[in-house]
Structure 1
Amino acid sequence: MCGLTGFAAFGPFEAAPARAALQAMSTSLAHRGPDGEGLWLDPEAGVALSQQRLAIIDLSETGHQPMASPGGRYMAVFNGEIYGYRALRAELAARGTIFRGSSDTEVLLAAADAWGVQAALERVNGMFALVLFDRQARRLILACDRLGKKPLYIGVQGGLLLFGSELKALRAHPAFTAPQLDRQALAAFLSYGYIPAPQTIYRQAVKLQPGHLLELDLTAPPLSARALAAQARPFWRAEAAAAAGLADPFPDAAAALAALETQLETAVGARMVADVPVGAFLSGGIDSTLVTAMMQAQSQTPVLSFTVRFGEAEVNEADHAAALARHIGTDHHEVTATPQMALDLLERMPDVYDEPFADPSQLPSLLVSQLARGHLKVALSGDGGDESFGGYARYGRMMMFERLAARVPGLAARMLAAAPEMLMRGLTAALRPGLPPHLRREASPDRLRKLAAILAHPDFRSRYEAQFSMWAPAAVMRAAPARPPAAFTARALPEGLDPPALMMLLDTLVYLPGDVLVKVDRASMAEGLEVRAPLLDYRVVETAWRMPAALRFDSSGGKAALRQLLARRVPQQLFDRPKQGFSIPQNAWLRGPLKARAADLFETGGAVAQELDAALLRRRWQEHLSGRRNWGAHLWAVLMLELWLQRWMAPEAGADALPPAAAARGGGRG
């Protein structure tokens, strides 16, 4: 695990200024790899590579990067892990490959020597971002893992190609000091709270999409970053995995569960391989509990487990996690998330997430990463279970909405969405007594208005897109783009997907890599912690698509298969409860302990006033404070945008200042 960065000049460069620029880029990522730094330059070819290393496998100098392939053709920097690499190493050794060390990176490069880069990527199982310089063909090759666990940003400016694990590495290069805001990406952020790939917040940069490979001839610079994104080709596609699985289902539920259990136990065991201690995030939910139980079954000593406690009951699962830890037998640790902690962490957010990002669980993710990093370097998580096994509460809600959509005319839904507030309050009060208890607690004028807005859309995919939306860009942006965000409706998908399968596939393609994995990668790597996700092993994902629909999503709340596997290991009463999620109580905190910090923005305008309608922001802030409306998610997104604009788009902004955690570690050099 590490931070990688570098650039290509499409011709020779002077060594001294190039090394200084590369050093600045590398230093900006010191938090991702506090165990060592490596710089490599080829001035004649115009290529510069750097890695900040978090040493997990092969802690010796033979694991140092940048690393040459055993045959010498490739020079590479690699961020991530290859699982099951020892079997691949034995196969390559039998073919005559001589290895210097014991790292998984060297095995991957030997596979590229032996079979070519694409064939090697198709054979390996892992989470990674990879940049290789093919010294023989004078080509640069960039790749990301199948599900998007590890990020790779690519920028084009000043005749250079720049790349890095985070955008701040690109900002550290002198050629990338004044990038332009991409207002289409800003509109996406306001809609979703994150920016889906391949867009980034800058017009001059893109994200390489999951499962994609990009090869570049270094004789001429590309026209633009967007042209590069279009040039990348997939070596694995979630859409194809879904279609293949649905076309080749297991014969029955018993066979499906047996195959899933085998694949998941193998995935957990492979992710426990390290030359340093490995622990687990244990939130108390189905996914993390199953992963932790499988870990403990394969461990000779108690697994270290970690969770976050909240004072607010509606978001607190720490008591459940502690009870599960006692039953499983882990060595359990927890940290209590207080409003003051959140306030203290706010100013770090634009350095941890160096493009706008507004998933409020970013704060507890950072706290649990801090807690775990005090004990170890690697933790396993339960990420990925919701997307492959129908675990999100919105899936059940959307199925209910579909039944309503069949009975409510679109015109009536549009009229209701635009109804006055007093009418919405009266309707909510009238409807609440007839709702089931779990829905009665959630009933509010805001939710009723959002429901009407969803039902007003003409088809299922557009309704699913609408349920994600926060701000309407056309209403809040001073200069909104003509094309609205459409990350969930613009993709070509296999034919014949039922609504639950459609939602799970869309979330795997968009929400998982754009939100969930960004949150976990930045929060953990800000603390120099590696997080591995067994449920995101691509073989587990492919197995999930072969399972009977009732084992993936059912009316009881989804995750039927995972629940059955967990019930073999943990008493059902310890985990059979409604899903709570992992977030802060943002509505209450914005009215209380975060009020003063947020008021500085919403009552004075702030930097966002250059891009957004300040009067609308003030109005929604006052409505939220009064308790008439719950605008917490909307206001949190604007607060995150404000902090980002102050940090990265002010005239003096740049990456010359390290994030506090990295600076405290002396820049991260080993």
Structure 2
Amino acid sequence: MCGIVGILDRFNNFSTEILNATVKSMSNRVNHRGPDSSGLWFDDKYGISIGHERLSIIDLSERGSQPMMSSDERFVIAYNGEIYNSEDIRTELSNYKVKFRGNSDTETLLEAIRTWGLENALNKLIGMFAFALWDKKNKTLQLVRDRLGIKPLYWGNFGKIVAFASEIQSFEEIPRVALSINRDALKSLVKYNYISSPLSIYDNIYKLEPGSILTIQPNGCKEIRKFWDVKHLSNNFNSYKDPKETEEEIESLITDSIKRRMISDVPLGAFLSGGIDSSLVVALMQKESPRPIKTFTIGFNNQDYNEAIYAKKIAGYLGTDHTEHYISESEAQIIINRLPYIFDEPFADVSQIPTYFVSELAKKSVSVVLSGDGGDEVFAGYTRYIWSSQYSNKIKIIPRKIRTVISDIILNTSPNITNKISKFIPNKFRPPQASDRLIKLASIFDIDDQSIVYNKLISQWQKPHEIVISEEGEEFKESINFESSKSNLYNMQVLDLTNYLPNDILTKLDRTSMSLSLEARVPLIDHRIIERAINLPDKMKISKGKGKKLLRSILSKHLPVNYINRPKQGFTVPLGDWLRGPLQEWAEDLLSEEKIIKEGFFDSSKVKSYWNEHKSGTFNRQNQLWSILMFQSWLSK
């Protein structure tokens, strides 16, 4: 994996020396993404300068160095990613008499573009990527991001210059550019705990959305177009297929996806949480490997949050070389102070903490890991899917007025009491974090419109404009629209695949792993799998109150059923307790009324009220407070 940066300065706002020095400084800011070597290419006539930081995974020689020029010297590329069908494409290119200098997938991609054109080449790729392509003939700059947004790419428009980078911190190195906080982005952060595309925390800087190509013409005109969109996938795959045949086809695709992602010239392992997704990835990896796969797990002493015991059991059954580490509160406190530096813009999914620790654990032994991320979105694993698909219609037999009364009682009961009540549920039936789940269920118990239910369940602050101070005081503009011809489940999956997955799950995985120069690969979101699975009937995704029906069935061929059928736990931490305990002093400082008023981003009275309610145990406000704490911490770095 790598880091890419660059500036297009057509009107020579900077001298060549300043331009290249700036790009070099931008590149240094993402050196952790590629510590093995650095490269710079420029053309002073057209004001283009491109930088690259390389993490060598395939072809460790200098022949894989970047920026790289095509064999006809027309194209220059700076590329971050992995192409898993590189050898297949090379074989096809050999029919066009293409001669390769090395074995890197960068050269494969470059020669594919030279031979077939950009979009035709992209359609052939299996992999993750973000890259900048300079066309010396047409004098165009094109920025490209992979179909699912696995690899990040930001771009900024500053008057007569355009800049791009793998991480937003690189833009801070550009002279004479004043960066200001985007208040809409801040509203997104407090609503979702992440900043949704195409917004970034700064005005005039944008995330290039997944599956997109940004083209900048010689006259400065810009065009963004999609080369792949999950919302427009054909349903033809599912014609006349019985469930058994479909399962076999999905299993074959997942197996092929994993085999391709196991190709590496450096040591490789896998994250293992003990859940369905990571267990399936590890089981299929171990099936393909003649040696025990290295697996890594993070645990907590609080059993409500601890999956390590399940991971250890599964690792033992599969015969992996397993390593686990239990996180202490003191370790968590240390890493929390580093989060603003690991995440280049504010990010507030608290599972960022265990994700960092499992990445750190893995990096001690390997340079590449496979992860089960994306399985929930593709195969319908989230609780919100199950609620909408299985239970939303059943509760309508209860009159809405009665549901509203029940909802109000639960929502106005203190967490201490709901925790005590949940303890009376037998262990066999009590899900992890039972009290939190009960409160979340109560918040939607009297809502019948499933698009509103979805919006409610993915939101922390329901009305972010009431907490974020902005001149207009406008509501946060969001587009949560269900396609009426599709099921509620399908609509939720597509919204998660286009927003939650790239902006939260994949951002978290990328920043934590790359901060340690560890490459993370995600086989369950191979686009071929999504194209086959997304339009499957709901009954093939959820059955008998359990999601991921297909994955469960495939995994049952490799693990005993009792290893598989347990309540979904989630990869999280006991944040509410930490904020009342070891993190209270840290939080108290960041949330001080004086500081909040002075900085002018949040309504200080609301922040104070929520913080006092949380400290007293009246309400659990951890999710609302964490986004504010992460922004405050980022702002203070």
TM above 0.5:
yes
1:179-258 pair list within 5 angstroms: 179-220=179-220, 231-241=223-233, 244-245=234-235, 248-249=238-239, 251-258=241-248
Q: Counterpart in 2 of 1:655?
A: none
Q: Please say which of residues 69-78 and 261-270 is displaced more in the overlay.
A: 69-78
Q: In structure 1, what is the Cα distance between the partners aligned to 2:585 and 2:77?
A: 48
Q: CA-to-partner distance for each residue in 1:530-569, whole Å, 9 max, x for gaps?
A: 0001101000111212544322122332011111111101
1:306 to partner: Cα distance: 0.7
1:391-430 pair list within 5 angstroms: 391-399=381-389, 402-403=392-393, 406=396
Q: Is the 8 A contact 1:246 1:546 kept in 2?
A: no
- 2:470 equivalent among 444, 460, 479: 479
Q: Is the 8 A contact 1:606 1:642 kept in 2?
A: no
Q: Counterpart in 1 of 2:270?
A: 280
Q: Is the 8 A contact 1:196 1:487 kept in 2?
A: no
Q: Counterpart in 1 of 2:80?
A: 79
Q: In structure 2, what is the Cα distance between the partners aligned to 1:16 and 1:430?
A: 66
**Residue identity matched to 2:294:** L
**Residue identity matched to 2:352:** Q
Q: Counterpart in 2 of 1:361?
A: 351
1:397 to partner: Cα distance: 3.1
Q: CA-to-partner distance for each residue in 1:364-414, whole Å, 9 max, x for gaps?
A: 111111111111110000011000111112222344673377467878878
For the residue of structure 2 that corresponds to 1:91, the secondary structure is helix
Q: In structure 1, what is the Cα distance between the partners aligned to 2:224 and 2:102?
A: 32
Q: In structure 1, what is the Cα distance between the partners aligned to 2:273 and 2:478?
A: 29
Q: Counterpart in 2 of 1:668?
A: none
For the residue of structure 1 that corresponds to 2:457, the secondary structure is helix
Q: Is the 8 A contact 1:37 1:53 kept in 2?
A: yes
Q: In structure 2, what is the Cα distance between the partners aligned to 1:439 and 1:408?
A: 23
Q: In structure 1, what is the Cα distance between the partners aligned to 2:499 and 2:472?
A: 21
C-alpha spacing 1:248/1:595, structure 2 compared with 1 (3 Å): same
Aligned-residue CA RMSD (Å): 2.8
Query: Is residue 49 of structure 2 the alignment partner of residue 54 of structure 1?
Result: no
C-alpha spacing 1:316/1:352, structure 2 compared with 1 (3 Å): same
**Residue identity matched to 1:592:** G
1:59-74 pair list within 5 angstroms: 59-74=60-75
1:538-577 pair list within 5 angstroms: 538-577=527-566
Q: Counterpart in 2 of 1:466?
A: 456
1:305-320 pair list within 5 angstroms: 305-320=295-310
Q: Counterpart in 1 of 2:380?
A: 390
* Number of equivalenced pairs: 633
1:483 to partner: Cα distance: 4.6
1:194 to partner: Cα distance: 0.3
Q: Counterpart in 2 of 1:656?
A: none
Q: Counterpart in 1 of 2:18?
A: 17
Q: Is the 8 A contact 1:388 1:552 kept in 2?
A: no
Q: Is the 8 A contact 2:297 2:324 kept in 1?
A: yes
Q: What 5-or-longer segments of structure 2 have no aligned partner?
A: none
**Residue identity matched to 2:188:** A
TM-score with structure 2 setting the length: 0.93
1:347 to partner: Cα distance: 1.8
Q: Counterpart in 2 of 1:512?
A: 501
1:614 to partner: Cα distance: 1.6
For the residue of structure 2 that corresponds to 1:258, the secondary structure is helix
Q: Counterpart in 2 of 1:373?
A: 363
Q: Is the 8 A contact 2:414 2:619 kept in 1?
A: no
**Residue identity matched to 2:218:** L
1:323 to partner: Cα distance: 1.2
Q: In structure 2, what is the Cα distance between the partners aligned to 1:434 and 1:318?
A: 25
**Residue identity matched to 2:217:** D
Q: CA-to-partner distance for each residue in 1:244-281, whole Å, 9 max, x for gaps?
A: 13773452111011101110110000001111111111
Q: CA-to-partner distance for each residue in 1:140-191, whole Å, 9 max, x for gaps?
A: 0111101110010001114210100010111222243x21211111111110
For the residue of structure 2 that corresponds to 1:40, the secondary structure is strand
Q: Is the 8 A contact 2:382 2:547 kept in 1?
A: yes
- 1:503 equivalent among 472, 489, 492: 492
Q: In structure 2, what is the Cα distance between the partners aligned to 1:567 and 1:447?
A: 28
Q: Counterpart in 2 of 1:631?
A: 621
Q: Counterpart in 2 of 1:33?
A: 34
Q: In structure 1, what is the Cα distance between the partners aligned to 2:156 and 2:275?
A: 39
1:196 to partner: Cα distance: 1.0
Q: Please say which of residues 463-472 and 402-411 is displaced more in the overlay.
A: 402-411
For the residue of structure 2 that corresponds to 1:606, the secondary structure is helix
1:429 to partner: Cα distance: 11
C-alpha spacing 1:80/1:434, structure 2 compared with 1 (3 Å): same
1:474 to partner: Cα distance: 2.9
Q: Counterpart in 2 of 1:149?
A: 150
1:421 to partner: Cα distance: 7.4
C-alpha spacing 1:525/1:426, structure 2 compared with 1 (3 Å): closer
For the residue of structure 2 that corresponds to 1:232, the secondary structure is strand
Q: In structure 2, what is the Cα distance between the partners aligned to 1:170 and 1:433?
A: 50
Q: Counterpart in 1 of 2:138?
A: 137
Q: In structure 1, what is the Cα distance between the partners aligned to 2:30 and 2:416?
A: 53
C-alpha spacing 1:575/1:452, structure 2 compared with 1 (3 Å): closer
Q: In structure 1, what is the Cα distance between the partners aligned to 2:305 and 2:236?
A: 36
Q: In structure 2, what is the Cα distance between the partners aligned to 1:512 and 1:327?
A: 30
1:70 to partner: Cα distance: 2.2
Q: Counterpart in 2 of 1:45?
A: 46
C-alpha spacing 1:200/1:371, structure 2 compared with 1 (3 Å): same
**Residue identity matched to 2:310:** H
Q: CA-to-partner distance for each residue in 1:62-105, whole Å, 9 max, x for gaps?
A: 00000012222110100000011101101112211111100111
Q: In structure 2, what is the Cα distance between the partners aligned to 1:293 and 1:430?
A: 38
**Residue identity matched to 1:96:** K
Q: What 5-or-longer segments of structure 1 have no aligned partner?
A: 223-227, 648-670
C-alpha spacing 1:440/1:248, structure 2 compared with 1 (3 Å): closer
Q: In structure 2, what is the Cα distance between the partners aligned to 1:433 and 1:22?
A: 57
C-alpha spacing 1:483/1:404, structure 2 compared with 1 (3 Å): farther
TM-score with structure 1 setting the length: 0.89
C-alpha spacing 1:581/1:469, structure 2 compared with 1 (3 Å): same
Q: In structure 1, what is the Cα distance between the partners aligned to 2:285 and 2:415?
A: 49
Q: In structure 1, what is the Cα distance between the partners aligned to 2:72 and 2:272?
A: 43
1:561-600 pair list within 5 angstroms: 561-600=550-589
1:441 to partner: Cα distance: 8.0
Q: In structure 2, what is the Cα distance between the partners aligned to 1:479 and 1:84?
A: 48
Q: Is the 8 A contact 1:158 1:175 kept in 2?
A: no
For the residue of structure 1 that corresponds to 2:393, the secondary structure is helix
- Does 1 or 2 have the higher relative contact order (CA < 8 Å, sep 6+)? 1
1:332 to partner: Cα distance: 0.8
Q: In structure 1, what is the Cα distance between the partners aligned to 2:72 and 2:563?
A: 53
Q: Counterpart in 1 of 2:114?
A: 113
